[in-house]
Structure 1
């Protein structure tokens, strides 16, 4: 028995000596700089952040799409972000997203559950105030906004210019026509319809779209526009920052110079170069505008100057709702935590 106890004691003593030796070696490595004490403690005590859970109450435009919860990482390289339509996750959601088009038709579609104390509600709309109804019903409901307005909590423009990583190989498409316009909703009393009617008295405008009885499928839209020197990027209503795909996609990406009707020139120049577009307001009359376009189309050197920005920038447009909604996670921790839109209607309509 005495021999056994001595043996166990020796084994235990050996383990203690081994641990002490290992600890001494580690301390020596830290002191020698082989191991950074700061980095070691950081790694040891750094807490992995909890994922941000974004619950989309209605997928925009009543689409039945249901995203995988890891869609933000898989498609857009945004980690720690869960995008879901699963309403059973309401109590654990950090943000609940409401697209106004769906709210506009059914006030009772808001959640009936009690909102968790720290949960944020986000109001989303890409439409202009002219085409957005019943906003006042939601005064006091929302913490944050995500719209085309630059003063939104999350700015959601229809497009943007990004600096080129390398020299551009863009070339101006060959032109066979002067001026075109693709339009579906044509109300004769609207400003854009009146400007078009007056302009067409002085210059030929080739119209496409449902309003013209010549519907263009999506695959033919840009190739058709690209054949024309100019494109009428006329907005359906005039509001600050309301600059839609009509300039970003239909004109810029197609390779046609946009003739814009929308907010003032200085508003456009916040987002695009001043020599990349022609503004209707720069001319005293539509006759003067028509003369300018006709002369410019025959001056190759002057016309090409409207594409100089292509050497530095490319157009980035976002049409995928998964990308737009996943970006909420990248902004989440920067947004004000105590904000409430007590008068959402007034904010959205202010110029």
Structure 2
């Protein structure tokens, strides 16, 4: 080999080494950033867990507790569901739920789902409201999909939503530390860190989407990502979900995938839906697009998810996912946290009604109204 060829080979070897070193540093930098944020995230994470536990039904509610009647003004989205027995499900005594409008004058509180009154499908209850009766605004859509908020400033007494600063806070899901698992959270499902044989899964990356819109940031993100890595798309915009369309079948399907795109339809404070929690149940590592990393860290350990904002480009994210598949040690860092937690996903809408019933009891005598509902929800 001539001197020129030797120099060329040496340069090529040096460039390859530098590239490998940069890739290694990139991975290490990301993991260090995640680890560094862990201490900062812990306070917010524990705060959210504490608020969740605060609103969980309390098995110590005694027979002497004042009876509460809660009127469900309209079934969300017009879909009738049998009202739950809060005593049997959550040990909340003397909580009567009804959807009979004739009980309006006797009801201690009325739950009003935003979609129906905003669209005009159903009118608000008649004024003046009886005595100290409370009207509860309930909504689980993002601000981008919640029209007509300005009409309800000064109308409601309490808010019930996924926002941590709601009067009645109940998120789409939350983690329960194993050491805190009690009768109060007996519905939580234990999570398990994978064994060595379970660490690598046969398929790489999946996405389930039913509401496809080219105007959504998540669709634009997908178009970029698929240039660098294969994404298996399911739902109305892709392959049919095996068996049925329930969340159980989604979770079973995701059990084959290493990563899952948990991409929200819009990005707003605390708007973190079942997309994330289905991935957690399935043991897939969620790749999230929604509110900021700091916001997600209020609900999960920092290493439990991969945020698209952690990377300068979509290509860099794709490279990281492929690199994790070849590096079980780094892959495990995203999954080992699971051994310390269970996951609770509140049942829509039964748990929401029972949680509201307990909150009404705690807020008896409160009569002030939410004066800036739109400003608060968009904040």
What TM-score, normalized by structure 1, do the two folds share? 0.81
Q: Aligned partners of 1:169, 1:267: CA distance in 2, in Å?
A: 22
Q: Aligned partners of 1:84, 1:131: CA distance in 2, in Å?
A: 28
Kept after mapping to 2: 8 A contact 1:257/1:276: yes
Match of 2:208 among 182, 206, 210: 182
2:318 corresponds to:
290
Further displaced range: 233-242 or 129-138: 129-138
Number of residue pairs matched?
302
Structure 2 unaligned runs (5+)? Answer: 1-61, 182-188
How far off its partner does 1:47 sit? 9.8
2:76 corresponds to:
60
1:79 corresponds to:
93
Kept after mapping to 1: 8 A contact 2:172/2:272: yes
How far off its partner does 1:319 sit? 2.2
1:43 corresponds to:
none
Q: Aligned partners of 1:224, 1:99: CA distance in 2, in Å?
A: 32
How far off its partner does 1:76 sit? 2.1
Q: Aligned partners of 2:91, 2:233: CA distance in 1, in Å?
A: 41
How far off its partner does 1:136 sit? 1.3
Q: Aligned partners of 1:104, 1:296: CA distance in 2, in Å?
A: 46
User: What is the alpha-carbon root mean square deviation over aligned residues?
Assistant: 2.1
- 1:116 to 2:133 alignment: no
Kept after mapping to 2: 8 A contact 1:66/1:84: no
Q: Aligned partners of 1:255, 1:328: CA distance in 2, in Å?
A: 31
Relative contact order (alpha carbons < 8 A, sep ≥ 6): 1 or 2 greater? 2
- 1:330 to 2:361 alignment: no
How far off its partner does 1:347 sit? 1.3
2:332 corresponds to:
304
How do 1:151-162 residues align onto structure 2 when only pairs under 5 Å count?
151-162=165-176
Give CA-to-partner distance per residue, 1:106-148, whole Å, 9 cap, x none: 1761122531120000000000000011111212110010011
- 1:228 to 2:257 alignment: yes
Kept after mapping to 1: 8 A contact 2:193/2:338: no
In structure 2, the CA distance between the partners of 1:76 and 1:254, relative to structure 1 (3 Å rule), is same
- 1:170 to 2:196 alignment: no
Kept after mapping to 1: 8 A contact 2:63/2:94: no
In structure 2, the CA distance between the partners of 1:222 and 1:108, relative to structure 1 (3 Å rule), is closer
How far off its partner does 1:341 sit? 1.4
Secondary structure of the equivalent of 1:292?
Answer: helix
Structure 1 unaligned runs (5+)? Answer: 1-45
- 1:345 to 2:359 alignment: no
How far off its partner does 1:169 sit? 7.2
In structure 2, the CA distance between the partners of 1:67 and 1:152, relative to structure 1 (3 Å rule), is same
What TM-score, normalized by structure 2, do the two folds share? 0.75
Match of 1:275 among 289, 293, 303: 303
How far off its partner does 1:163 sit? 1.5
Q: Aligned partners of 1:134, 1:242: CA distance in 2, in Å?
A: 19
Further displaced range: 174-183 or 121-130: 174-183
In structure 2, the CA distance between the partners of 1:108 and 1:86, relative to structure 1 (3 Å rule), is closer
Secondary structure of the equivalent of 1:109?
Answer: coil
Secondary structure of the equivalent of 1:230?
Answer: strand
